[in-house]
């Protein structure tokens, strides 16, 4: 069974902007189902201010956030099935951009660095946590959709 996911991306040239001189805002809006809108822009490290927006999400950040969010949601599901109780999960994920063999920039690595607070009498061992991270990575829809190396800090690779 196929599932569909949609996003609408909107941008318009400002009245005082000069498109052909490359002097236009990269600010735009991402719209999702349920009516939520998120400001988007190119990264200020790629397109300098004032033509980008610091207060908006850039595609590279969104890519890292999607990977982190998918991993977290999968990890939470696995932990719940194993009857572990998680009170808090915070991931300070990091995306690293490098050049590929053709000299093109790409997000070559994402490092997930979650801090997880478990509660209750049943506490997982470090090995069980590592196993749940490995399974979460294996089962995450987004991780299965990208070529980027994804690692969890402190968890050995399988």
CA distance 145 to 140: 9
Of 57, 83, 103, the position where a domain reaches its end is 57
Based on the structure, what is the number of domains in the chain? 2
Q: Which of 130, 133, 52, 57 is nearest to 95 (CA)?
A: 57
Of 33, 57, 81, the position where a domain reaches its end is 57
The whole-angstrom distance between residue 100's C-alpha and the CA centroid of its chain comes to: 20
pLDDT at 78: 98
Structure tokens at 20: 């052909």
pLDDT digits 0-9 by tens, 65-102:
999 999 999 999 999 999 999 999 999 999 999 999 99
pLDDT at 147: 87
pLDDT at 158: 66
| Shared-domain flag, residues 33 and 76 | no
Domain that holds residue 124: 59-152
pLDDT at 1: 87
| Shared-domain flag, residues 51 and 79 | no
CB atoms within 10 A of CB 31: 14
Walk across the sheet containing 8-10 and list its strands. 8-10, 28-31, 37-40
| Shared-domain flag, residues 81 and 146 | yes
Decide: 139 and 74 in contact? Cβ < 8 Å: yes
Q: Is the bond preceding residue 134 a cis peptide, omega within 30 degrees?
A: no
DSSP 149: E
Judged against a pLDDT cut of 90, whether residue 156 lies above it is answered with: no
CA distance 25 to 41: 8
pLDDT digits 0-9 by tens, 31-73:
999 899 999 999 999 999 999 999 999 999 999 999 999 999 9
**What element of type H or E holds 107?**
strand 105-112
């Amino acid at each position: 069974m196929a599932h569909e996911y949609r996003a609408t991306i909107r941008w318009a040239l400002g009245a005082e902007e000069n498109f052909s001189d490359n002097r236009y805002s990269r600010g735009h809006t991402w719209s999702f189902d349920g009516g939520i809108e998120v400001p988007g822009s190119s990264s200020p490290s790629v397109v300098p201010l004032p033509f980008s927006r610091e207060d908006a999400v850039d595609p590279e950040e969104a890519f890292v956030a999607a990977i982190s969010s998918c991993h977290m949601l999968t990890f939470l599901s696995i932990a719940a099935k194993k009857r572990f109780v998680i009170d808090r999960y915070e991931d300070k994920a990091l995306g690293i951009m490098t050049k590929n063999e053709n000299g093109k920039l790409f997000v070559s690595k994402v490092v997930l660095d979650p801090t997880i607070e478990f509660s209750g009498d049943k506490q997982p061992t470090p090995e069980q946590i590592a196993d749940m991270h490995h399974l979460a990575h294996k089962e995450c829809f987004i991780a299965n959709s990208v070529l980027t190396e994804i690692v969890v800090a402190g968890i050995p690779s399988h």
